[in-house]
Structure 1
């Protein structure tokens, strides 16, 4: 399977992703927040999900996402958009990164471009990133 990368804002690539047989809806792994909500991380594509954040933001460990979403949603969350945050430390107790995760707790994305057939299912993680930097440090993936 080919994966096509495109710059943000380039809608022409969306059709290319679909034509390439990209299975954006495949669940890579699942986390549950402190309130028991099911928060999947899907394969996604250049718009959201694992493909969207893993390379550009240098998050390659499912553990990082699971730790962040295991908390209660942060202030500013809505019924369908959940915001999570975590401070991750190394073995010496030094802060490695402050991670933010944005999840869509609904069966379709906020822009209505992606929808799940099962209306009880959730889109899940839209993006994840480290605060204050363009890319997360490599050490984050070894925490």
Structure 2
């Protein structure tokens, strides 16, 4: 009787040991498969618009003059986790005012630089503001303008004429994919006197564009 119980116990222990070995082997195999899959998946770089100040702070150097263009279709990730492909087809149609009732001076958004300069982007018309540059330069997103808040030294600073620069940067290595220039008027009227802001504040954005091209690539507008 005792011998039979001993044999059963021995078989039970052997079964447990075999089960544990199989479990360990399965986990090891699963880990190897996941590691192989991760190794085979290319790293998606994270990009963001930076001011000149932020770029120097993050990378310890001034931004390079040259843009490192994309070579064929590429995929980027925004800081919010959104994936963006540079292979996005034809340009997006700029937003319009179907009724034509929006006054040129209505501010769509506004930012203030580190020196306290107020920079609104007004709806505008064919000559200034959002309506001008959205149509002419295919720039719809407001994302580049947010770097104004982190700018202490604009790239051009000549009286009321102030220009800011937003650098779309690969945060892993500092390579610059796109430079957006924002030309602004820090006065309540344009130099020629054609436009005077009813609110008495700065005219703000005159135009904005992606440097080096007539129209911004459509994928830039996916960065919001």
TM-score above 0.5? yes
* 2:46 corresponds to 1:46: no
Cα shift at 1:38: 1.3
Q: Show the counterpart of 1:80.
A: 160
Match of residue 105 from structure 1: 186
Q: In structure 1, how many angstroms separate the alpha carbons of the residues matched to 2:222 and 2:141?
A: 8
5+ residue gaps, structure 1: 4-19
> Offset of 1:22 from its aligned partner?
4.9
Could you list the structure 1 runs, at least 4 aligned residues long, displaced by more than 4 angstroms after superposition: 90-94
Kindly indicate which of the two structures has a greater share of residues assigned to helix: 2
Show CA shifts across 1:93-133 (max 9, x none).
Answer: 653311111100000011110112343x1100000011111
TM-score when normalising by structure 2: 0.50
Q: Is the 8 A contact 1:31 1:70 kept in 2?
A: no
Indicate if the aligned counterparts of 2:156 and 2:164 stay in contact, CA closer than 8 A: no
- The question of 1:116 aligning with 2:197 is answered yes
C-alpha distance in 1, partners of 2:217/2:186?
28
| Partners of 2:98 and 2:216 in 1: CA distance | 25
Contact residue 189 and residue 195 of structure 2 kept, 8 A: yes
CA RMSD, 1 decimal: 2.3
* Structure 2: 5+ residue stretches without partners: 1-96
